[in-house]
Structure 1
Amino acid sequence: MKLPPLNAIKAFEATVRCGTFTAAGAELGVSSAAVSLQVSKAEEFLGKQLFLRGNNFLTTTDAGQMLYPHVARALSDLSEITERFLEQDMRSRIVISTIQSLAEGLVVPAVAKFRHSNPQVGVSLQIDSDPFVFDQHEIDLRVSFQDHNSANVTSQLLFQDTVAPICAPPLAQHLPPDLLDIPDRLLIHVDWGETYTSYPTWATWFRNFGNRKISDARAGLRVAGTNIGLELAIRGAGIMLAPLSLAQKAITAGQVTALASTQLSLPYGYYVSQNARSLSEVKPRKSQYLDHIQQLLKQAAPKP
């Protein structure tokens, strides 16, 4: 297949449409001399004169008029299919990472609203445990119980959470009035893993309210993750020291009840983070999508 150089064809098409080499150069971001040179290359390749040139005029020849509609249609088709490919590539790169406990109550509602208003944009939602290192993952946004703010990452606080003891209403009816008298076998202990030391334990709860009781975790339930702990509490298996952002839906539905009006604040908040180095690399449209998702996350976040 023998074809003229693409730059030469683009210069010819722009010149016919704009009327002058100067106007075509302004559109293409090059000088009028550069446009004229590219048009000459097209004429040399085709063996036909495409324009009649004068001191104050530029007229398309019969050969140029015959060529133009075919060139314009070909460039338009090429532009359309290129845009489709770029849109597909853009969709595949919108990736949101979060932790399990935030996925259902916070991230999923925000992503669902985003998809309703932007059905053409694909979103990949993945679960990654903390600690999380941005340089080791190809993601756009990270939502977690961790402030990633650094030279390469920007973080925004979504909300600050509190914890309180909860259990199923039938179990609550048979508990002693003082939490200190609750047997250790009924306490649910959440294990966030070896890397976490800031999540409040039952010992933290009792100490914060003036008692140094240390419960025996071996006598109760020990679970890996707040979602599992909440499900056990709902099913009446014990009492959980639960983040209220996670438990609020179950509390509203009457599945669990809070055993104390006093709440304990978590030492850190929940953040949405973005790789700062990628901010200058993403296309404007994708940047708008990412901003929209972050706004929806803020709207979906629990209010104090």
Structure 2
Amino acid sequence: MTTGVRIILASRPVGEPKESDLRVEPMPVPVPAPGEMLLRTLWLSLDPYMRGRMSDAPSYAAPVQIGQVMEGRTVSEVIASNLDGYAPGDIVLSPSGWQTHAISQGKLTRKIDPSIAPISTALGVLGMPGMTAYTGLSEIGQPKAGETVVVSAASGAVGSLVGQIAKIKGARAVGIAGGPAKCRYVVDELGFDACVDHRASDLAEKLKAACPGGVDVYFENVGGAVFEAVFPLLNSFARVPVCGQIATYNATEWPAGELRVSKLTRDILTKRLTFRGFIVSDFAARQADFLRDVSTWLREGRIRYREDIVDGLEKAPRALIGLLRGENFGKLLVRVAAPGA
């Protein structure tokens, strides 16, 4: 094959991204130079943080530039290698982005052992989302036996693992998810103690009923109305790992009705609350612990996961828009190619 496909950022979205903000175009398949290897993308991860990369607003990471390949993590196969330690047929985790082929010098790349779990899990439960859940909960949330842990986006790649780890640690897990089907999945398959539909008109009342002893840890993935429903329930000395704010990622102005800063800070003071925003790379030193613990829990059947798979790289733009709307069910992946094809 001499021609591949890539998807570039064509324009910066205003509000919700449009498919036209991303452009699918052909690309020549590059040839690796000495010290390089050629990767063919098998799986592409789609994640909420990508919306921030499409904007040029100040953030913790540089934005994707107009005309540049969209950023993203992939599971890829080594097709040709002039790089010591890598051979054709190796399966690797790589930040290759939204393209069928990429050149790599091995930076930020690691081999995947297909015997441990399906290779797609390196982008989900055994990848960045899984490590986000593991480190954010253990380092900031620090749940104790008998405490109540609430997590928003509970059926998603991060939230689903947060609740399951909370249960392993002896805590009570309450999820917040979008719709009855997701709530049933969170309770019946993932083993949460309860799950509340964030679309319910009486969200605050139902959440209060699900947390009669208040909330000791709130793992924040959403913001907006969900945060407003959780905040009054926080117990003294509660911990709040702030992982995401997906409810506001497409906003062009701050939504009306948000908690006023003065009330927020007053309650943080009087209840001695701990709020900490974090990026998964803050806890890079915990990667070996994460891989050891979560792979063990997977083998033991104590952790379950779900993948939402879209076939074809050209479908990635529409799938990302759906992700930001909450349409995915589980970890959203694009299946680009099959190994050895």
Measured against the shorter chain, the TM-score band is under 0.3
Question: How high is the TM-score relative to the length of structure 2?
Answer: 0.19
Q: Which has the higher contact order (CA 8 A, sep 6+)?
A: 1
Higher helix share: 1
Question: How high is the TM-score relative to the length of structure 1?
Answer: 0.21
Q: Which is greater in Rg?
A: 1
